[in-house]
Amino acid sequence: MSSAQIASKAVKQLDPEDIIVLKGLEKTLTRFESIPIEALKRITKLDAGKIEFRLGRLNAFGFVMKSQFGYTLVSSGLDALALHSLVRRGLISGMGRSIGMGKESDVYEVISDAGEKAVIKFYRIGRISFRATRLKRSYSKPDAHNQWLEINIEAARKEEEGLVRALAAGVTTPKFIARDRHAVLMSEVEGLMLHRCRKEDIENPRELLKKILENTRTAYLKAKIINGDLSEYNILFDGEKPWIIDWPQYVNPDHPNASEILERDVENILGYFERKFGEKIDQRKALEYAKGEKKSL
Ligand SMILES: Nc1ncnc2c1ncn2[C@@H]1O[C@H](COP(=O)(O)OP(=O)(O)OP(=O)(O)O)[C@@H](O)[C@H]1O
Ligand SMILES: [Mg+2]
From first to last of its 297 residues, the chain has per-residue pLDDT tens of 777 887 888 888 999 999 999 999 999 887 777 899 999 999 999 999 999 999 999 999 999 999 888 999 998 999 999 999 999 999 999 899 999 887 789 999 999 888 889 999 999 988 655 555 454 444 434 445 578 888 999 999 999 999 999 999 999 999 999 999 999 999 999 999 999 999 999 999 999 999 999 999 999 999 999 999 999 999 999 999 999 999 999 999 999 999 999 999 999 999 999 999 999 999 999 999 999 999 999
Report how far residue 137's alpha carbon sits from residue 24's, in angstroms, rounded to the nearest whole number: 21
Probe ligand 1: pick from 120, 245, 247, 250, max atoms within 8 Å of CB? 245
Strands 235-237 and 242-244: antiparallel
Residue 189 near ligand 1, beta carbon < 6 Å: yes
* DSSP code of residue 32: -
Give me the pLDDT at residue 145, please: 57
Q: Name the helix (H) or strand (E) containing 172.
A: none
Q: Is the CB of 159 under 6 A from ligand 1?
A: no
Domains of the chain: 3-187 (3.30.200.20), 192-290 (1.10.510.10)
CB-count burial class (<10 Å; 0-12, 13-18, 19+) for 68: exposed
What's the CA gap between 226 and 181, in Å, rounded?
A: 24
The tally of CA atoms less than 13 A away on the side-chain side of residue 153 is 13
Tell me how far apart the alpha carbons of residues 92 and 83 are, in angstroms, rounded to a whole number.
8
Active site includes 265?
no
Report the b/e string of 128-148 with b at 16+ CB within 10 A: eebeebbeebeebeeeebbbb
Cα atoms found within 13 Å of the Cα of residue 88, Cβ hemisphere only: 12
Task: State the pTM of this model.
Answer: 0.93
User: Catalytic: which of 18, 229, 238, 246?
Assistant: 229
Using alpha carbons only, what angle is made at residue 184 by residues 105 and 16, rounded to the nearest 5 degrees?
Answer: 105
Q: Are 247 and 163 in contact (CB under 8 A)?
A: yes
